[in-house]
Chains A and B, each alone.
Chain A
Amino acid sequence: MTWETVIGLETHVELATRTKIFCSCTTEFGGAPNTHCCPVCMGMPGTLPVLNEKVVELAVTAGLALNCAIAPVSRFDRKNYFYPDLPKAYQISQLYLPIARDGAVDIGGGKTIRIHELHMEEDAGKLVHDPWLDQTLTDYNRCGVPLIEIVTEPDFRSAEEVIAYLEKLKETLQYLGVSDCKMQEGSLRCDVNLSVRPVGSAELGTRTEMKNLNSFKAISRAIAYEARRQIELLEEGKRVVQETRRWDENKDATYAMRSKENAQDYRYFPDPDLPGVELSGAYLEHLKASLPELAEHKRARYQADWGLPAYDTEMITSQKTLAEFFEALVALGTDPKQGANWIMGQVLGQLSAHGLEAKDMKLTPATLARLIALVKEGRLNRNTAVKVFEAVFVTDGDVDAYVKEHGLEQVSDAGLVETVVEQVLAANEKSVADLKAGKEKAFGFLVGQVMRQLKGQASPAVVNQVLRDKLG
Chain B
Amino acid sequence: MKITEEMVDYISQLSRLQLPQEEKTAMTAQLEGIVAYMDVLNRLDTSGVEPVSHIFPLKNVTRSDEVVPSGDREELLANGPAVKDGAFLVPKTVE
- What residues of chain A have their CB less than 8 Å away from a CB belonging to chain B? 17-19, 24-26, 32-39, 42, 44, 50-56, 75, 80-84, 89, 127-130, 133-139, 263, 265, 267, 270-272, 274-278
A-B pairs, 7 with minimum CB distance? A270-B53, A24-B68, A54-B65, A275-B58, A137-B87, A53-B62, A38-B71
Residues on B with beta carbons closer than 8 Å to the beta carbon of A127: 93-94
Which residues 19-69 of B sit at the A interface, judged by CB distance below 8 A? Answer: 53-56, 58-68
Also in contact, A275 and B90, with CB within 8 A (given A37-B71, A39-B71, A129-B95): no
Q: Is the CB–CB distance between B94 and A128 below 8 Å?
A: yes
Residues on A with beta carbons closer than 8 Å to the beta carbon of B85: 33, 137
Listed by A's residue number, 24 A-B pairs whose Cβ atoms lie within 8 Å are A19-B67, A25-B67, A25-B68, A34-B87, A35-B70, A37-B73, A42-B71, A50-B61, A51-B61, A52-B63, A53-B65, A80-B14, A82-B15, A130-B89, A136-B89, A136-B90, A136-B92, A136-B94, A137-B84, A137-B88, A271-B53, A274-B61, A275-B59, A277-B60
Extra contacts, 20 of them, besides A17-B65, A34-B76, A38-B70 (Cβ < 8 A), are A19-B66, A26-B70, A36-B70, A51-B62, A52-B62, A75-B53, A84-B90, A89-B15, A127-B93, A127-B94, A130-B89, A135-B92, A136-B89, A136-B91, A137-B90, A138-B90, A267-B14, A272-B55, A275-B61, A276-B53
Residues on A with beta carbons closer than 8 Å to the beta carbon of B13: 263
* B81 interface hit (Cβ, 8 Å): no
Most buried by A among B65, B66, B86, B94: B65
How many Å from the CB of B65 to the closest CB on chain A? 4
How many Å from the CB of A78 to the closest CB on chain B? 11
Q: Is the CB–CB distance between A26 and B67 below 8 Å?
A: yes
Also in contact, A24 and B63, with CB within 8 A (given A36-B70, A82-B14): yes
Q: For chain A, what secondary structure do more than half of its interface residues adopt (helix, strand, loop), or is it mixed?
A: loop
Bound CA span A277–B70, Å? 26
> Out of A24, A32, A56, A82, which one reaches B62, CB within 8 Å?
A56
Residues on A with beta carbons closer than 8 Å to the beta carbon of B88: 34, 84, 137-138
Residues on B with beta carbons closer than 8 Å to the beta carbon of A56: 62
Bound CA span A466–B36, Å? 106
Bound CA span A45–B94, Å? 26
Residues on A with beta carbons closer than 8 Å to the beta carbon of B15: 82, 89
> Out of A52, A53, A83, A272, which one reaches B54, CB within 8 Å?
A272
Residues on B with beta carbons closer than 8 Å to the beta carbon of A83: 93
Bound CA span A92–B53, Å? 14
> Out of A81, A84, A278, which one reaches B60, CB within 8 Å?
A278
* B18 interface hit (Cβ, 8 Å): no
Q: Is the CB–CB distance between B87 and A82 below 8 Å?
A: no
How big is chain B's contact interface, by range? 35 or more
Bound CA span A134–B64, Å? 42
Q: Is the CB–CB distance between A18 and B67 below 8 Å?
A: yes
How many Å from the CB of A258 to the closest CB on chain B? 9
Q: Is the CB–CB distance between B70 and A278 below 8 Å?
A: no
Residues on A with beta carbons closer than 8 Å to the beta carbon of B63: 24, 50-53
Bound CA span A444–B14, Å? 84
Q: Is the CB–CB distance between B53 and A137 below 8 Å?
A: no
Chain B residue at minimum C-beta to C-beta distance from A260: B13
Bound CA span A148–B92, Å? 29
- What residues of chain B have their CB less than 8 Å away from a CB belonging to chain A? 13-16, 53-56, 58-68, 70-71, 73, 76-77, 79, 84-95
How many Å from the CB of B94 to the closest CB on chain A? 5
Chain A residue at minimum C-beta to C-beta distance from B57: A275
Residues on B with beta carbons closer than 8 Å to the beta carbon of A135: 89-92
Bound CA span A392–B90, Å? 54
Q: Is the CB–CB distance between A39 and B76 below 8 Å?
A: yes
Bound CA span A334–B71, Å? 52
Chain B residue at minimum C-beta to C-beta distance from A283: B60
> Out of B55, B59, B71, B89, which one reaches A278, CB within 8 Å?
B59
Residues on A with beta carbons closer than 8 Å to the beta carbon of B79: 42, 44
Bound CA span A55–B14, Å? 31
Residues on A with beta carbons closer than 8 Å to the beta carbon of B68: 19, 24-25
Residues on B with beta carbons closer than 8 Å to the beta carbon of A82: 14-16
Chain A residue at minimum C-beta to C-beta distance from B16: A82
Q: Is the CB–CB distance between B93 and A136 below 8 Å?
A: yes
Most buried by B among A24, A36, A271: A24
Also in contact, A275 and B60, with CB within 8 A (given A34-B87, A135-B90, A138-B90): yes
Residues on B with beta carbons closer than 8 Å to the beta carbon of A52: 62-65
Residues on A with beta carbons closer than 8 Å to the beta carbon of B86: 32-35
Residues on A with beta carbons closer than 8 Å to the beta carbon of B56: 275
Bound CA span A50–B71, Å? 17
How many Å from the CB of A138 to the closest CB on chain B? 5
Bound CA span A271–B53, Å? 8
How many Å from the CB of B93 to the closest CB on chain A? 5
Also in contact, A42 and B89, with CB within 8 A (given A24-B67, A51-B62): no
Bound CA span A275–B93, Å? 34
Residues on A with beta carbons closer than 8 Å to the beta carbon of B61: 50-51, 274-275
How many Å from the CB of B92 to the closest CB on chain A? 5
